[in-house]
Amino acid sequence: MEQQKDIKKIIIPIAGLGTRFLPLSNVISKEFLPLVDKPVIQYIIEEVKNSGIEEVVFVVNPGRKNILDYFKKNTELEKLLVKRKKDKILKELKDFEEVFRGISFSCVVQKEPLGDGHAILQAAKYVNNEPVAVSFGDDIVYSDKPAIAQLMEIFKTCQAPVVALKQMPVDKISAYGVVDVEKIANNLFKIKKFVEKPEASKAPSNLAIVGKYILTPEVFQYLKKTGTKGNPERNGEIVLAEIFEKMLADGKFIYGCELKGEWLECGDKLKWIKSFFYLALKDERFKDELKQYIKTIK
C-alpha cells in the first residue's frame, strides 16, 4: 500500500443557513456565536492548529464570504491601542493573532444548500489528491488531546476514512446519525453500516456520529461520481453518510474513532447555551464567581 502523506489541510463547512438561530442568524453567522469570550469557530481553529494542520478551507454560503476578515491582522486597531496606551487590550489582541500564526485560510462558496457531501465536494480542488480532515462548524470537543489529532492517529494505522464517534444515552440516540460497528480496540471500530436517526429500539449501537472526519482521496472520487445526481428523495442532496454506504457496499473499509473528551454541540439554542455554561464553568477566570452566582438565582 502506498504510504499516505501527513494531513495538513482541513475543510470546515459552514454554509448552513442557521435557521435554528433565527432571527439572530440573519445578521450573525452561528459560527460567531460566543462561547464564554470566544466565538464557536475560534475553538475549532484552535483545535485545528493544535492538531498540526496548516491550511483551512471554509465552505461558506454566498452571504458569508467575510469570514476571513476575522482572522486578519488589524494594523490600524493596534496603532490606536498603542496610541491610547491600552497595553492589556493590545496584549490580548496579540495573543489572539498568535492563535492563527502559521495557518493559511481560504474559502469556497456553496451556492445551494445541497447536503454535507455537496459542501465538502466544493473544496475538492484544494485537496490535491491528499487525505484531508473535515470539521463541521457546530461541534466542539473539550479534551486534552484535540479531536482531530485523535482521528489522525487512527488514520496513520488504518490509512482509510475515519469517522468521529461518541456514545450517547439511548433516549437521545434517535436525534443522531448512528453506526453499526465491529469493535477492534478500545476506541477503534470497523464501521459496518450508517443509520440516520433510528428509533431507539432499532439503533444498531449507541455510537453517534460527531461532525469530524478524516477523508481519503477515494471519498472524493465517490463524491465526484455522484456529482449533481444527489438523492432524489432528499431534493438532490449529496449526503456524506450515503457516500460512505456506497463505499461499504463496494467492499471498502471505513473506521470509527470513539473520541475522548466532552462533546459540546452548538446546533440549536439549548445545546449552545449548555455548551456556553459548560465552558464558562471550566474557565479559571470565571468559574468560582459563576458557581456562587448560580446559587443565588431563585
- Structural fold of domain 9-296: Spore Coat Polysaccharide Biosynthesis Protein SpsA; Chain A (3.90.550)
C-alpha cell at 138: 457546530
Per-residue pLDDT of the chain (298 residues; tens, 9 = 90+): 445 568 999 999 998 777 888 888 888 888 889 999 999 999 999 999 999 999 999 999 887 767 888 888 888 888 898 988 888 989 888 888 888 888 999 999 998 888 999 999 999 989 888 999 999 988 899 999 999 999 999 999 999 999 999 999 988 999 999 999 999 988 999 999 999 999 988 899 999 999 999 999 999 999 998 765 555 555 678 999 999 999 999 999 999 999 999 999 998 999 999 999 999 999 999 999 999 999 999 8
Amino acid found at 219: V
**CA 177-132-96 angle, 5° bins:** 95
Burial of 109 (0-12, 13-18, 19+ CB in 10 A): middle
Q: What is the rounded distance in angstroms from the CA atom of residue 135 to the CA atom of residue 148? A: 8
All three cell numbers of 208, joined, read 453517534
Measured in whole angstroms, the distance separating CA 87 from the mean position of its chain's CA atoms is 34
Q: Any idea where the domains of the chain sit in the sequence?
A: 9-296
State how far the Cα of 277 lies from the Cα of 255, in Å rounded to an integer.
33
293 C-beta neighbours (distance < 10 Å), count: 10
What's this model's pTM, rounded to 2 decimal places? Answer: 0.91
**Residue 155: closest CA among 76, 202, 217:** 217
User: Which of 52, 58, 44, 68 has the alpha carbon at shortest distance from 210?
Assistant: 44
Alpha-carbon distance of 252 to 293, in angstroms, equals 54
Cα–Cα distance measured from residue 196 to residue 240, given in angstroms and rounded to the nearest whole number: 11
CA 30 – CA 115 distance, rounded (Å): 18
- Beta-strand relationship, 255-258 and 162-167: parallel
Parallel/antiparallel/unpaired status of strands 132-135 and 207-215: antiparallel
